[in-house]
Amino acid sequence: MKYCSQCGNTVSQTIPPGDNRPRHVCDGCGTIHYSNPNIIAGCLPVYGDRVLLCRRAIEPRLGFWTLPAGFMENGESTEQAAARETLEEARAQVRIGDLYTVTSIIHLNQVQMLYLAELDQPEFGPGDESLEVALFSEEQIPWDDLAFQTIRNALRFFFEDRRNDHFPLRHIELETKPGTYIAK
């Protein structure tokens, strides 16, 4: 950020009174501009014993497989965001169930929230951001071609938990180093 979005003047990095970390503060009108983490909402859509994955048509990780998920928008709930992303990316209507993974992706300033979800019908197709969409059984999951560590975690937990028919909320912190994570 270089300019104030309110008045167009330049901004400086400074710690405002009563605060304890540097913010972008306008040199003209004094507005403090905060930057905070974003929420990525998505789901793990299940149909029978298979899971719905999307192959990404966009960067990052174009061509790799992922669960439907994307930035939560203003004016919606986390569950609405998860259902909307699934409709947009996989053209699938899902019933959103329990919250399943909450991952703080610390180095990206993101919190990813994935819900368990059910497909009533095997009806789906690639949205604008997907090359293809398909159902996978556990044996068919393209583990080496998954787009993100968060997706790998969610799928690994899911198949593990399915053996016990018990799906506790998984809390994960992802740090900078790829492959490093703390699961609770």
Note the residues at the interface with its own copies (CB under 8 A): 1-8, 10-11, 18, 21, 33-39, 71-80, 98-99, 102, 104, 106, 109, 111, 113, 128, 169, 171, 173
Binding site partner of 163, from Zn ion, its own copies, none, Cβ cut-off 5-8 A by kind: none
E strand spans, the chain = 11-14, 23-26, 32-33, 38-47, 50-56, 65-66, 69-71, 94-105, 110-119, 130-136, 170-174, 181-183
- Listed in sequence order, the residues at least 6 apart from 160 whose beta carbon sits closer than 8 Å to its beta carbon are none
Provide the minimum distance between the beta carbon of 32 and its own copies in the complex, in angstroms, as a whole number. 12
Provide the minimum distance between the beta carbon of 10 and Zn ion in the complex, in angstroms, as a whole number. 9
- b/e map of 32-68 (b: 16 or more CB within 10 Å)? eeeeeeeebbbbbbbbeebbbbbbbeeeeeeebbbbb
Site string for Zn ion, 122-141 (x = CB under 5 A): --------------------
Binding site partner of 74, from its own copies, Zn ion, none, Cβ cut-off 5-8 A by kind: its own copies
46 binds Zn ion (CB under 5 A): no
Taking the least distance from each CB to Zn ion, the nearer of 29 and 183 is 29
Provide the minimum distance between the beta carbon of 157 and its own copies in the complex, in angstroms, as a whole number. 15
The residue count of the chain comes to 184
CB-CB contact of 132 with 57 (8 Å): no
114 binds Zn ion (CB under 5 A): no
Catalog residues that contact Zn ion under the rule CB under 5 A: 4, 6-7, 9, 26, 28-29, 31
